[in-house]
A and B are shown apart, each in its own frame.
Chain A
C-alpha cells in the first residue's frame, strides 16, 4: 500500500490503482501512441451478446417494453407539414430495477467484479449509474461505495443528485458526498487503494457490452412488431456509452441502416468544474458538458482506453434546450400517462423535432426513459433553478441561455434542435489525438485508426491534419 496521500502522489499512482481495480491490462491492446485494437478489447475483455443477455436475466435487467406514443405522434403531425410526422416509439428503460438503462451497464460490471472475487465495488457517479451500481451490488451481495459531486461551497446540493444519493443509500451503499471539483477522482482513487474494491467504471468494455442488449432489443422488437427496422433511433448522449452500446446492438440485430442520432441538452458556456456554475445547471447529465468533450477526446475517461467511442457510431448530433426537455417531460406525462425523469427525456424532446422532418410512414425510436421522484422532477429542478437566480418563463426556446434563462415553449411548433457540425467535432477529435501522441510520426495503420475512430475517411483525417499544421 501507499504512504503518500497527497494529491500529486495519489494521481501519480493512477495507472497501477486503476489496473488492479478493473482487472484489464490495457497494454495488451495498444498498437501505437495513436492506435489500439478496439474490437480486440471489446471481444477479449467484454462478453458476447448472448452472455450479456444471460447475465442480465439473472438480475431482471432488460427486456423492457417498447411503447408507441400515439398521442405524441398525433401532436407531432399537428405541427408538421402535410405528409410529415413520423411515428414515435419509446423504450421504457425506467422499468429496469433501479429505474434506468444504466442497470444494463452496471449488471455486467458487477457480475465481473463478483466473478473476479473483489470484496466490493466502487463507482464515481452522481447520476443513474451510481444507483445502478448500488442496486446490482446489492443483488450480488457485494459491498459498495459511491462517490458523488453534490454540493457547491455554500453546501447547496443539486436536488437531482441529492435524490441519487438517497437511492444509493436505499440500496445499501456507502455514499461520499463531495463539493465541486475534479479532485473527486483523487478521492475515488484513494478509496480504491484503501479498500481493494472493483472500480465499476462506466467506460470498460464490459460496461459497454451491457448496453448492446438495449439496441438489440429495439431492433428485434421493432422487426417483430412492424416487420422493419426503425428509420432513426435518438439516443441521449453524454459520455458516449449509450450511443456506442445502442448502435452496436442495433447492428447485431441487423438494423445497419438505422440512423443513430445523438441528443444532448445544451449547456454550452457553463464550466463543469466551476463552484459558481455548478448550481446554475438544471441538468446533471445528458448535456454538452459531457457530450462534446467525450466525443472529441474519449480517452479522457477514468480508464486508459475508453470503450465508449461515440464518433464511430453517430450519424447526427443535435442539441436541445433545458426548457424544451422539461416541456417534453410534461408532454409525456400529460398525453401518454407516463411520468418519467426529465434528463432521460432529452432524446424525446429531440425526437419530437426529428419526427416533424420525417415522413408519416417512418419510425423514430426514443431509446430510453428513466425514473422520476422527489428531487429528480421538473418541479423540483425548476424550483431549485429559480432559487439560484435562473429565470423561468414561457416563450421562444431559442431564447434559452444556460445558467441564465430556462424558456419553456409556448407551443410545440416552437420546438427545434440545433444541428452540431459533426465534421467540426471530428476535427477536434483529430487535434486531441495528435496532441496526445506528441512528436510521434503516424503510420498508415494510425491514419486508418483515426478515420475509423472518428467515423470518417482517411482523406478527411488527412485534410484535418493539414488544416491543423497550417493553422
Chain B
C-alpha cells in the first residue's frame, strides 16, 4: 500500500456520534446508523497509510485528527449519462413553436 507523506492533500473520517448517542427525535432508520464526518486537509504526519489515525491541517489552519481514508481524493460527481426522457424535449418544443409561426 502507498505511504502518504507529510504535506499531501488527504481526507479523514470520524464517527461523531455512535448510533446509541444520536438525538432522540431522528427517524428510526437514521437512529440505527452512526453520525459520520469526512474532512480534507494537508497531512501533518509522515509515512502513514490508509486506515491509520492521522492529523491534518485544514485550509483554515486548524488541526483535526481522524482515520485516513483517501490520498489526493478525487471529486466523484459528473454530468451523469444522457437522459433519453430529456433528449427529446428540445426538438418537440421547437416544433411546437414552428407550428405557431406557420399558423
Contacts and interface: CB of A to CB of B under 8 A. Distances in A.
A173 B61 CA distance: 11
B87 to A, nearest CB: 9
Contacts of B82: 379
Contacts of A377: 79-80
A179 B60 contact: no
Contacts of B86: 326, 330, 378-379, 382, 408
A384 B77 CA distance: 10
Given A153-B33, A327-B89, A330-B86, A159 B80 contact: yes
B62 A174 contact: yes
A150 B40 CA distance: 14
A393 interface: yes
Interface in B1-56: 16-17, 21-23, 25-27, 29-30, 32-41
Contact of B81 (A159, A162, A166, A383): A383
Contact of B77 (A166, A183, A276, A327): A166
Contact of B80 (A150, A327, A379): A379
Given A74-B100, A162-B76, A175-B40, A334 B93 contact: yes
Interface string A140-182: 0001110000110100010100110010010011111111111
B21 A7 contact: yes
A35 interface: no
Given A334-B93, A335-B93, A335-B97, A275 B77 contact: no
Nearest to A197: B60
Interface residues on A, range: 35 or more
Given A379-B79, A380-B77, A383-B80, A274 B90 contact: no
A78 B80 contact: no
A392 to B, nearest CB: 6
A273 interface: yes
B37 A75 contact: no
B22 A181 contact: yes
Given A172-B59, A330-B90, A380 B78 contact: yes
A442 interface: no
B76 A182 contact: no
Contact of B40 (A74, A169, A186, A273): A169
A339 to B, nearest CB: 11
Most interface-central of B22, B23, B93 (chain A CB within 10 A): B93
Contact of A74 (B22, B85, B90, B97): B97
A78 B79 CA distance: 32
B76 to A, nearest CB: 7
A412 interface: yes
A120 B60 contact: yes
A235 B77 CA distance: 29
B83 A382 contact: yes
A380 B26 contact: no
Contacts of A273: 26-27, 30
A335 B94 CA distance: 7
Question: Which are the 7 A-B pairs with shortest beta-carbon distances?
Answer: A383-B80, A334-B90, A375-B77, A153-B33, A380-B80, A143-B60, A379-B80
19 contacts: A75-B93, A78-B97, A151-B36, A153-B33, A159-B78, A162-B77, A174-B39, A174-B62, A177-B39, A179-B37, A183-B35, A187-B16, A187-B37, A331-B89, A375-B78, A377-B79, A379-B82, A411-B92, A412-B93
Interface of B: 16-17, 21-23, 25-27, 29-30, 32-41, 58-62, 75-83, 85-86, 88-90, 92-94, 96-97, 99-100
Given A153-B33, A183-B17, A412-B96, 7 more contacts: A159-B78, A162-B77, A181-B23, A181-B26, A182-B25, A183-B22, A375-B77
